[in-house]
Structure 1
Amino acid sequence: MDNVSKDERHARGRLQGLVRDSGSSLAALSRLLGRNPAYLQQYVTRGSPRHLDEPDLRKIAEFLGVSPRVIETRQFDDAGYEAPSRSRPGANGDAGDWVEVPRLPLDASAGPGAISAEEISFDAFRFSRRWLREMGLEGADLTAIRVEGDSMEPLLRSGDEIFVDRHKRAGEGIHVVRIGDALHVKQVQASAPGRIALISANDGYAPIELARNEVEIIGRVVWKGGRI
């Protein structure tokens, strides 16, 4: 692993140890990512690629039940963002002043339920770190997806872009949830013990009550944007 720092070697070692402790293998996890079975073995032993792509990193972290930062090889500052490189200034100033929020080709249904697609970013919103701080979103694990349907009107309209903070998966509020293969955006409320209710803002849609283990909470909706 030529030209690989000590911190990078340690991060790759942690990944190898976590995979081993999980009872899985680097080859199996590579296949889970849709990669060549040797992909993660080469990453760990040869440092190729130098850094994991963000979608791959997130999938691996979720599989292992750890924070992405535990196995990330990039250097982060105290706020959890990639430390700026002096050799790569951005067009609008130091790259460290900006944070990209990946857009995923997914629709969170405010209606009958959107089938989830592959969670690979196809675009990104770029925001200043200062704006995120002012909005109370500094340090959030944000992804952007589009709302489809009218069950959350007038709060959320079809076509709105929403930011989902994957760090916020507990408690009540408006969340993106997965039921089977379908994604929904609903207000989540506690119901009877072991059950939760999914509430629509539109009175034309009845509440949905399900067992807690039937619903995967992806994250809380923390921001929205859309056309006027």
Structure 2
Amino acid sequence: MPAQPLSQDQLSEAAKLKDLFKSWQASRKESGLPSSQEAAADMLGFGQSALAQYLNGKIPLNIDAGAKFAALLGVGLSDFSPSLADQATRVAGSVTGLRVTDDDDHAPPTIAIPMVSVHVQAGIDGFVIEPILDEDGRHYVPRQFIEENDLHPDSLVAVKVRGDSMQPMIFDGDIAVVNTIDRTRKNGGVFAMNYNGQAVVKRLTYDRREWFLASDNPDFEPVPCRGADCIVIGRVVHFTPKNFRDRL
């Protein structure tokens, strides 16, 4: 039986996704990074044929595929599919409050998310994530935390924090979990940022009608967060202390 044709809304969303994908490819090429559909399919975790069909409006997007595209392209799900973003919110809300125990074989107590390094360019609203393949390449987040906070695992990545600017909360070597579809600035929130071409973890503050990147370490002065020099990658929603030596 032939597949049902996509609706006009679905075709419009596919076209938006294709435009974002082309911008991602152009950015990758400028950086000398793999940018082919085959390379993207490997990062997304599904075949090149499926990727092409999503981009060309031959098959409809679903929440899982949409979240993977959003994480790859460094955009919000709503940037190309408001309908899926609404659907994801409803699905996440429906599982809030579920209790998880170690005895439940069908609901393991943790969820694995990828450990990645983040590559950014100055002035470009997007980023490239590269999997870290040493050890097992994954970080484990409590399932209950993800469900209670309405998070979608496919939109989460784990990064290793470098430097001491966020001490005493986050130390060099700690693991920060970033929600790549939550890019709305919030006063006092901790975010992964593209600051003038450098990926940093900072606290966003708002004072006298201006945004600043602030450090928890008082030795570092806040810096203005303006325009294309300061772009949100995602909000830090969880962190795991790994550097215990410097805490002693």
TM-score (norm 2): 0.59
Q: 1:101 aligns with which of 109, 113, 131?
A: 113
Out of 194, 204, 209, the position equivalent to 1:188 is: 204
1:108-166 Cα distance to aligned partner (Å, 9 max, x none): 9xxxxxxx973144433244533434xx4332543211110111112111000011233
Structure 2 residue ranges without an equivalent (≥5): 29-34, 39-47, 95-103, 121-125
Residues 215, 117 of structure 1: CA spacing in aligned structure 2 closer, same or farther, 3 A cutoff?
closer
Give the whole-Å Cα distance in 2 for the aligned partners of 1:131 and 1:27. Answer: 31
**SS where residue 144 of structure 2 aligns?**
helix
Corresponding residue for residue 123 of structure 2: none
2:238 paired with 1:223: yes
* Equivalent position amino acid for 1:62 in 2: V
One-letter code of the match for 1:119?
I
CA distance in structure 2 between the partners assigned to 1:71 and 1:208 by the alignment: 36
Query: 1 or 2, which has the higher helix percentage?
Result: 2
User: After superposition, where does 1:98-177 map in structure 2 within 5 Å?
Assistant: 99-106=111-118, 118-122=128-132, 123-133=137-147, 136-139=148-151, 141-166=155-180, 167=182, 169-173=184-188, 174-177=190-193
Structure 1 pair 69/105, CA: closer, same or farther in 2 (3 Å)? farther
Q: What's the counterpart of residue 84 of structure 1?
A: none
Q: Secondary structure at the match of 1:186?
A: strand
How many equivalent residue pairs? 202
- Structure 1 162/204 Cα, relative in aligned 2: closer, same or farther at 3 Å? same
CA gap of 1:124–1:80, structure 2 versus 1, over 3 A, is: farther
Cα distance in 2 between the residues matched to 1:62 and 1:215: 15
Deviation at 1:99, TM superposition (A): 3.4
- Aligned twin of 2:36: 35
Q: How big is the shift at 1:198?
A: 1.4
Q: How far, CA to CA, are the matches of 1:77 and 1:96 in structure 2? A: 22
The reply to whether residue 18 of structure 1 matches residue 13 of structure 2 is: yes
User: How far apart in 2 are the matches of 1:131 and 1:23?
Assistant: 30
TM-score when scaled to structure 1?
Answer: 0.63
5 Å-filtered alignment, 1:195-214, equals: 195-214=210-229
The 4+ residue runs of structure 1 with deviation greater than 4 A are: 22-27, 37-40, 43-47, 50-55, 67-72, 95-98
Instruction: Name the counterpart of 2:31.
Output: none
Larger strand percent: 1
Instruction: Structure 1 unaligned segments of length 5 or more: list them.
Output: 82-91, 109-115
Q: Amino acid of the residue matched to residue 129 of structure 1?
A: R
Counterpart contact for 2:165–2:217, Cα < 8 Å: yes
Cα pair distance change 1:14/1:105, threshold 3 Å = farther
Instruction: Tell me the equivalent position of 1:62.
Output: 75
Relative contact order, higher structure (CA 8 A, sep 6+):
2
Shift of 1:186: 1.4
